[in-house]
Every structure is written in C-alpha cells, then in structure tokens.
A and B are shown apart, each in its own frame.
Chain A
C-alpha cells in the first residue's frame, strides 16, 4: 500500500488545515488538485515527513512518518515550486552530489551517480556552471536531478511546474511521470497534467472530497468552480 490515512488531522497555528482525512491509494502516479488554501501543500508535506499529524493513523510506503522518518527520508524525495530555494551548492554538479552526502559513497561512485543523473536531465554541459546562473527551467531540472539521484521510491512534487513556461513545464512533467521505478504524488493546478496521472485526489477546505479516475475528478473540480 503506498499511501494510507485514517482519520488524520493536521493543526497548524490555530487552524485545522487537514480535517479527518481517510484515504487509501494504491497507484503509481497520483495527482492532487484543489483550490488555493485547500490543504494540498500540507498534505504533500505530511507525506514527506515535513509536518506531523495532530491525530490519526498514517502510513507511507507502509511506514509511519512519525516514527520512521529517517528511513522514509531516504526513500522519499520532495520537489517544490520555487527553483531557487532548492539549490544548496554553488555549482550544478556539487548541488546534485549534495543529495548523496549522507550516503558516504566513494568518490568514484559518487561521481558516477552524479554524472548519470546529470545526463538524464540534460545537465551534463552545465555541470561546472554556478547553479544560481541557470534559467528557471534549468534550475527546476536541477532540483529534479537532485531528487532523482537518490533513487527514491516515492517522489512528492508540490506544484513543480508553477514557475515554468509551457516548454519547461512539459519537460519537468515528463521526467516526473516517466516510469523510472518510482511512485509519484503530484500536486498541480495544471488539470491537463493531472489527467496524465493514474488516480486523482480532490481537496476542498482541508478535506478530501473525491478520489478516482483523473478525468472524472477534474470534471468534478471544474463543476465545483462554476
């Protein structure tokens, strides 16, 4: 079971941001849609172990992020919208290598892993460039590269295409959706993109209001907006 929630509540400050979520999803790619403020990011952060639940039961990849956060961190990667805030190291290759720091690999293995990942995201020619000089699209590809170099079993992406133009959004989405042995939870406002996933979840006011076939969920969402 990839994601299971039982009566999960998340309270931040003095608002209940997620209210009584009960949900079971077993699909390779899951889209999360809903209006601004409906709790999508909080849901993504909850799955990624970046916020903790206030009540309820939760399992991601069969593990509880509350008590098994260390192991989950190693198996999950999270990608955010803002490309700038995901860059840590001054050059492209070093930034990718940063993701593997905790693994204490040998230098040759580290370089090999980084080179393979750079090639996959078309960043080989930029390896020694200052990361902050990249374009927005290149930065987001770098963020993906830094996520995928860890060979995650689950990738959680919170509006990863929000800051990108159509072409770059397409490239980022293709990489995320490509079946490279990982599962994907994709928070997105792009309803066409949502329909490329296997399952969609609709959020409204901190609750899950529908789960199912993406085309149906998207129509339901559009009906709700009218």
Chain B
C-alpha cells in the first residue's frame, strides 16, 4: 500500500537528503508544468522511465511498475472522469503528468530512510525557529503520522469486522464513533510510549 524504503547503494541512495529533495522537486515540477498535449504524455512517460532507469536501483523497471500499480485507482478515476468531459488528448496527458509526478516523488521515499528524511526536515525547518516553529517536533509529528497510517488502517478493519461479526450492516455512522474511540486510545498509548522513549 505505502511506498517504502528499499535498501540500495546507487547514487540516489547515497545522495544527501536535502539536495535530493530539491532535485526530485525540480523534476516533479517540470513534469507537472507540461502542457496538455499528446507529446507531453510521451515526455512524462519518458522522464519517469529515465528517472527509474538512471536512479541506480537494483531493478528500476520493476520498481516503476510496482509504483504505477500502486496508483492504479488514481489512474482509473482520473482517466474515466476526464475522458468523459475533456476528451482523450487532455485526459491522457493530464493523467500521465500526475502519475509521472507521483512516481518520481516516490523515488525520494524509495531511496531515503525515514530517519534521514526526519533529519532533513528537521534541518530544513530550523530557519523557521525564529517564528516559533519547533523543527524537532514538526519532523517527529510527520514521522509518527506516516508510521501510524498502517496501524489506523488495521484498526479500521478490526472495527468493521467486529461490527460484521455482530450482524451490523456496513454504515458510516456506526463506524465513525467506535473507530474514533480505538484511534484515540491508540494515540494515547503512543503518547505514553513516545514519552517513555525520551520524547518530551
């Protein structure tokens, strides 16, 4: 479901996190700014393929396919919606640009450990400390949020299962309250664990 770090020794893996973020941001930006034309779709596809080919991954093409499969629903929804209203050229070029931007951005997470991201965010936010942004806390919040997503997804599944087991029909109303309860309980436990592990 979520993009994850893949250990490796390629140049993108070894590159310092700050410059890597800027580099990938530039590529993502230029892809996003492509116009809505057939040739732009080709360029977007070409740039993504090239990016994965030269990133120094163990198997770049397989990783690219994996990433595209991961966003297949975005592709389907965007394509369907835009084909209806905008016609094939716009639909296909818009979708390619967005998918290219997403998969290129994913290269950051694939080649960077979260702890390195955490350090980079912390450093990046440090200049904001004059206006009372606590860079350490902000970076930690980001990390904890990222790593909590799979847990919340599982808790949501458990709540749904518990309701089905008791014969309840699927309904948002009866899902939200119990889910909030378990999510808040989790947040409370996590807070304790963070405090116990030295986070003030």
For residue A173, give the distance in angstroms from its CB to the closest CB of chain B. 19
Known: A80-B193, A87-B147, A88-B143. A94 touches B7 (CB 8 A): no
Is A207 part of the binding interface, using a Cβ–Cβ cutoff of 8 Å? no
A149 to B: closest C-beta gap in Å: 10
Among A78, A90, A101, contact of B146 (Cβ-Cβ < 8 Å): A90
Q: Contacts A97-B115, A98-B197; is A130 near B4 (CB within 8 Å)?
A: yes
Residue ID in chain B nearest A98 by CB atoms: B197
Least CB distance, A209 to chain B, in whole angstroms: 26
What is the bound-complex CA distance between A19 and B151, given in angstroms? 36
**A99 is contacted by which of B7, B146, B189, B198 (Cβ under 8 Å)?**
B198
Are the C-beta atoms of A132 and B151 separated by less than 8 Å?
yes
Give the total number of A-B pairs whose CB atoms are below 8 A apart: 78
**A80 with B147, Cβ < 8 A, contacts A102-B198, A128-B7, A130-B4 known:** no
A124 at the interface (CB under 8 A from B): no
Residues in A neighbouring B147, C-beta threshold 8 A: 87-90, 131-132
Chain A residue at minimum C-beta to C-beta distance from B186: A85
List the B side residues contacting A85 at CB < 8 Å.
151, 186, 189-190, 192-193
Interface residues on A, range: 20 to 34
Cα-based distance from A84 to B152 in the complex (angstroms): 10
Interface size range of chain B in the complex: 20 to 34
24 A-B contact pairs sorted by A residue (CB < 8 Å): A45-B192, A73-B195, A74-B198, A78-B193, A80-B193, A82-B186, A82-B189, A86-B190, A88-B193, A88-B194, A89-B114, A89-B115, A89-B143, A91-B4, A94-B113, A94-B115, A97-B115, A128-B5, A130-B4, A130-B150, A131-B147, A132-B151, A143-B193, A146-B197
Q: Residues of A with Cβ closer than 8 Å to B? A: 45, 48-50, 73-74, 77-78, 80, 82, 84-91, 94, 97-99, 101-102, 128, 130-132, 143, 146-147, 150
Known contacts A50-B195, A86-B190; 16 additional CB pairs below 8 A are A50-B196, A73-B195, A78-B193, A78-B196, A80-B193, A80-B196, A82-B189, A84-B154, A85-B151, A85-B193, A88-B144, A88-B193, A90-B4, A91-B113, A132-B154, A147-B197
